[in-house]
Amino acid sequence: MLENPKVNIKIKLAALWASATFCYLYGDYFELYTPGKINSLLTGENILDSPTKLLIASMILATSSVMVALSIILKPKINRVLNIVFGILFTTMMLFIGF
């Protein structure tokens, strides 16, 4: 008989952050198939046209990756605050990017 064991909330949070990170990576990958995208990357005519903007974008993407580990290793109070804050931040960013 199949069982459905209870999964620790920290594992669930880590899995959600990992899923979000994969979605961002897949979105970036498939965006490369947009006509003219590769050419804009080669010529430097894109939104990430300066080292500062590239650093900010890298830090944003790295945050979701780091949250995978932090969701497991942090104490519950800090874990809860960071997951709420970054969850709201990333949801808000996706809403603005989507529209």
In this predicted model, what pLDDT tens digit does every residue of 7-51 receive, in sequence order? Answer: 999 999 999 999 999 988 888 888 888 898 888 888 878 888 888
Helix (H/G/I), strand (E/B), else coil: 1 = coil
> Could you tell me the pTM of the whole model?
0.79
Owning domain of residue 46: 9-98
Number of compact structural domains in the chain: 1
* In the chain, % of residues over pLDDT 70: 98
Beta-carbon contacts of 48 under 8 Å, excluding residues fewer than 6 positions away, are: 54, 57
In a domain, 2, yes or no: no
Q: What is the mean pLDDT of residues 88-95?
A: 90
Helical H segments across 1-99, by residue range: 9-31, 37-43, 51-73, 76-98
Evaluate whether 17 touches 67 at the Cβ level (below 8 Å).
yes
- Residue 37, pLDDT score: 86
In a domain, 59, yes or no: yes
In a domain, 78, yes or no: yes
pLDDT tops 90 at residue 68? yes
In a domain, 26, yes or no: yes
In a domain, 4, yes or no: no
Q: What is the mean pLDDT of residues 53-74?
A: 92
Closest listed residue to residue 66, CA positions, set 91, 51, 52, 83: 83
